[in-house]
Amino acid sequence: MDMAAQKICLSDFTLPGLTEYMKSIGQPAFRAKQIFKWIHQKLVTDFSAMTDQPKSLISQLEKDCTIAAPAIRRRQQSKDGTVKYLLQLADGNCIETVLMRYHYGNTVCVSTQVGCAMGCRFCASTQAGRVRDLTPGEIASEIYTAQKDTGERVSHVVLMGIGEPLHNFDNVMDFLTLISCPEGLNIGMRNISLSTCGLVPGIDKLAQRHLQLTLSVSLHAPDNATRSSMMPVNDAFPLEKLIPACRRYQKETGRRISFEYSMVKGVNDSPQKARELAELIKGMGAHVNLIPINPVDGSPYSATDEANVRRFQKMLEELGVNATVRRRLGTDISAACGQLRREDARQQKQQTSDLQGERTDAP
Ligand code: SAH
């Protein structure tokens, strides 16, 4: 039996959860708080570094527990300062994390699942499906790894990496607690954006939490035929369900939603689509983020050219919709999320088949 797999991962616990666990092994609450701070504030991944803990407790924790500490398998740095990491988790699975430098601070884009089940036709992260959910501590460790690697404070977080955050709801909620609590990095909810492909029950559930984060909805098309052709999730939650859910969300939380709109040449970028989009979301005061699609291998889509993106933006503005063209960072380093992980998996496969080839060829 694999004993390592049975170890308890302490970085997955929120402070109340850790307090409970420490109590169960006969330790007082203040120890839980100290250890929580070591993990989530001082970003230590070694029990032996917890210098205010008794030696006996350290040995016990080393024997029974772990802390999520992914290995940096690959690191690419763009000319604009963007750093992209391929992180390897304890079980060998890989995910991607990106650190972007903006004038207002460093933003980390985190993955929430290994792979994704949503099947969007333009997205590299979903082509091989979903392998598993990430735990709260694993998601937090993406930020911790980037912060330690760069030696720079992370002030903003976007849940826009690999995976669908609302398809891993409970772990994502605990992750948000970990990074926003005062005993952790204390990242303000207003500095956090969560992006969803539009899982309506998840949006309603999230609304009930009344968080001050920004909800981003990946809309990408103003009509069901186009949206379903791009995103299978639209068959389950078509626009007549999704848009009212967005309106409910705004009403319940008092927070404006932002819509992502990836522009695909000849699919969703005509003046007609701009008019339909404006009609669809009018009166919401929502913000639209336009971004030319990042073409991935095996996808039939190509990007709308810059000038047409601008034209589309101008039309939206004229129709009373607030729209910006998102600045693209890190385009010189493996582009859209999911590509690095897929590339790596492919190389692994190639190496394995090379090895197998050698073996068969051997006398
Ligand atoms: N699952 C969530 C979050 C991860 S994807 C969601 O769907 O929102 C983050 C954003 O990147 C989404 O808006 C997604 O539609 C977009 N995206 C994915 N692949 C893309 C590509 N190749 N080009 C442009 N945007 C892409």
Tens-binned pLDDT, residue by residue, of the chain (363 aa): 455 458 999 999 999 999 999 999 999 999 999 999 999 999 999 999 999 999 999 999 999 999 999 999 999 999 999 999 999 999 999 999 999 999 999 999 999 999 999 999 999 999 999 999 999 999 999 999 999 999 999 999 999 999 999 999 999 999 999 999 999 999 999 999 999 999 999 999 999 999 999 999 999 999 999 999 999 999 999 999 999 999 999 999 999 999 999 999 999 999 999 999 999 999 999 999 999 999 888 888 999 999 999 999 999 999 999 999 987 777 677 645 566 777 777 776 665 554 443 333 333
Q: What is the pLDDT of residue 351?
A: 58
pTM listed for this prediction: 0.93
Chain position carrying tokens 């539009």: 198
Q: For residue 159, give the ligand 1 atom closest to its CA.
A: 3
Residue closest via CA to ligand 1's atom 24 equals: 293
Query: What pLDDT, on the 0 to 100 scale, is given for residue 362?
Result: 30
The catalytic residue among 62, 65, 96, 181 is: 96
Q: Rounded to an integer, what distance in angstroms lies between the CA atom of residue 93 and that of residue 353? A: 19
How far is the C-alpha of 79 from the C-alpha of 83, rounded, in Å? 9
For residue 261, the CA-to-ligand 1 centroid distance in Å is 9
> Is position 96 annotated as part of the catalytic site?
yes
Residues paired with residue 154 on neighbouring β-strands, in sequence order: 106
Confidence (pLDDT) at 334? 61
Rg of the chain over all Cα atoms, to the nearest angstrom: 22
Distance, in Å, from the CA atom of 229 to the CA atom of 158, rounded to the nearest integer, reads: 26
Residue (of 213, 78, 230, 89) closest to 159 by Cα position:
213
Interacting residues of 115 by C-beta distance below 8 A, sequence separation 6+: 125, 126, 128, 129, 130, 131, 162, 163
pLDDT of residue 352: 52
Amino acid 23 reads K
Return d(Cα 347, Cα 337) in angstroms, integer: 17
Report the nearest atom of ligand 1 relative to the CA of 163.
1
The rounded distance, in Å, linking the Cα atoms of 160 and 215 is 11
Find, among 67, 42, 66, the residue nearest to 52 by Cα.
42
Which atom of ligand 1 is found nearest the CA of 116? 1
What is the 161 CA–ligand 1 centroid distance (Å)? 8
Residue 218 near ligand 1, beta carbon < 6 Å: yes
Which residues make beta-bridge pairs with 159?
A: 194
Which residue has its alpha carbon closest to ligand 1 atom 18? 123
47 lines ligand 1 (CB under 6 A): no
Whether 337 is catalytic is yes
User: What is the side-by-side order of every strand in the sheet holding 214-218?
Assistant: 71-77, 83-88, 94-102, 105-109, 154-159, 192-196, 214-218, 258-263, 287-292, 322-325
Distance in Å, CA 259 to ligand 1 centroid? 11
| Cβ–ligand 1 contact at 96 (below 6 Å) | no
Token code pair at residue 132? 């598993």
Identify the pLDDT of residue 310.
97
Name which residue sits closest to atom 15 of ligand 1, judged by CA.
Answer: 218
Residue 122, ligand 1, Cβ within 6 A:
yes
The pLDDT of residue 346: 74
From 260, 268, 327, mutation site for ligand 1 pocket: most ligand atoms within 8 A of C-beta: 260
Those residues with Cβ within 8 angstroms of residue 312's Cβ, 6 or more apart along the chain or in another chain: 263, 269, 271, 273, 274, 290, 304, 323
Rounded Cα–Cα distance for residues 299 and 136 (Å): 32
Q: Of 65, 109, 337, 358, which residue is the catalytic one?
A: 337
List residues bridging with 9 in a β-sheet.
Answer: 66
Burial-class residue 193 by CB neighbours within 10 Å (0-12, 13-18, 19+): middle
CA 120–ligand 1 middle distance (angstroms): 8
Measured CA angle at 269 (ends 268, 274), to 5 deg: 95
Q: What is the pLDDT of residue 298?
A: 80
CB count within 10 Å of CB 361 equals: 7
Q: Which of 164, 196, 218, 229 for mutating ligand 1's site (highest number of atoms within 8 Å of CB)?
A: 218
**Rounded distance between C-alpha atoms, residue 314 and residue 308, angstroms:** 10
Helix (H, G, I), strand (E, B) or coil at 32: helix
| Atom of ligand 1 at shortest range from CA of 220 | 15
pLDDT of residue 220: 98
pLDDT at residue number 119: 96
Kindly list the distances between the CA atom of residue 136 and the CA atoms of 143, 166, 210, 212, in Å, as whole numbers in the listed order. Answer: 12, 13, 20, 19
Q: Is the CB of 195 under 6 A from ligand 1?
A: yes
Q: Is the Cβ–Cβ distance between 5 and 135 less than 8 Å?
A: no
Q: Which of 195, 230, 259, 291 to mutate to test the pocket of ligand 1 (most atoms within 8 A of CB)?
A: 195
